[in-house]
Structure formats: C-alpha cells, structure tokens
Amino acid sequence: MIGRLNHVAIAVPDLDAAAALYRSALGASVSNPLPLPEHGVTVVFVALPNSKIELMSPLGAASPIKSFLDRNPGGGMHHLCFEVEDILAARDTLLAQGARMIGTGTPQVGAHGLPVLFLHPKDFNGTLIELEECAKSSE
Ligand SMILES: CC[C@@H](C(=O)O)C(=O)SCCNC(=O)CCNC(=O)[C@H](O)C(C)(C)COP(=O)(O)OP(=O)(O)OC[C@H]1O[C@@H](n2cnc3c(N)ncnc32)[C@H](O)[C@@H]1OP(=O)(O)O
Ligand SMILES: [Co+2]
C-alpha cells in the first residue's frame, strides 16, 4: 500500500536556526518558512535527492507539536510521511486492521496541497505516521 518516503519531520524550537544549520553545515537547499495556521505549525522543507526533511516549529497556543517540544526541548524526530495512491482506501484498510486515525479520519490538506492523514504512534511502534495522497510515481 505505501509508496515512497515523502518526508521525515523534525520538530524544532527555533525554525530559523534549524534552517540555517541545514543550509550552512549540510549545504542543503531549504525552502522559505510556510506558516500553516490550520495545522498549528510553521514549516520549511529541506530538499534531498531522494526525499525531504520537514522542519517544523509550533504556531499558536494549540499547536499539536507543543507537548512534543515540551518533552524534547532541543527538538527531535516527530513523524514519517509515506505516499499512498488512494488515501481513503489506505485509511479504510488500516481502520479494518484496528489502526487509529488522529482526529476524525477525514483527510486534511497538507503542506503540499494534497490530502493527508495521521496514524496514532502507539499503533506503529512509537512512530507517528503521516499518509499523503500522491499520484503514482513514474519511477
Ligand atoms: C504541515 C502539514 C503536515 C504536512 O503536510 O506535512 C504536517 O506534517 S503537520 C505536523 C503537525 N501535526 C500533527 O502532527 C498532527 C497529528 N499529531 C497530533 O495530533 C499530535 O502530535 C498527537 C499525535 C495527538 C500527539 O499529541 P501530544 O500532545 O504529544 O499527545 P500526548 O502528550 O497525549 O501523547 C500521547 C502519547 O503519544 C506519544 N507521542 C506523542 N507524539 C509523538 C510522536 N510524534 N512520536 C512518537 N510518540 C509520540 C507521547 O509520548 C505519549 O506517550 P505516553 O507518554 O507513553 O502516553
Ligand atoms: Co508532515
């Protein structure tokens, strides 16, 4: 069911400092900050040859990454995002196997303008999983 690794997300306390670190220390290409109030985060994407890193900092008092950063004040790996061709079919297959969606289970529009869903970390070996619906890769 799952396709390519779309991104690895890292929660950071200081987005500008994290973006500068990836640019200067690793020589990476880093996008401009994108505030996503509907998701409670501001993100930048680090472009890699085979995937992306999503650096995120909290936006607003109800940010879903606030508790995570309280527990990990220096930042840390927050979620993996896998591509799927049909997010509703993927959701229904997972629900039938007992996996829990975060929230209502209705896909939301993510940072790339595509439908996304989150699966509870307790059902995936302590790892929060994001699914993003992407057209089938030509690779
Ligand atoms: C920008 C859009 C989009 C994209 O297109 O890429 C994004 O990526 S948005 C990213 C931010 N949004 C989300 O992550 C939405 C889904 N996540 C959530 O709603 C919350 O993060 C959460 C999964 C519900 C957890 O919220 P939290 O406040 O931390 O809940 P708890 O404190 O009650 O924790 C419960 C339990 O789960 C463990 N936990 C929490 N987060 C993680 C994590 N990222 N990875 C692994 N485990 C996690 C936490 O430690 C608790 O465990 P116990 O203490 O053992 O109960
Ligand atoms: Co993400």
Contact between residue 130 and residue 9 where contact means Cβ atoms under 8 Å apart:
yes
Pocket test residue of 36, 55, 69, 79 for ligand 1, highest count of atoms within 8 A of CB: 79
- Whether 132 is catalytic is no
Pocket of ligand 1 (CB under 6 A): 9, 36, 39, 41, 43, 54, 56, 64-65, 67-68, 78-79, 81, 102, 110-111, 116, 118, 121, 126-128, 130
Distance 10 CA to ligand 2 centre (A): 9
pLDDT tens figures, 94-114: 999 999 999 999 999 999 999
Domains observed in the chain: 5-133 (3.10.180.10)
Q: What is the ipTM of this complex?
A: 0.98
d(CA 70, CA 13) in angstroms, rounded, equals: 10
Q: Is the pTM of this model over 0.90?
A: yes
Cβ partners under 8 Å of residue 2, min gap 6: 82, 83, 84, 90, 131
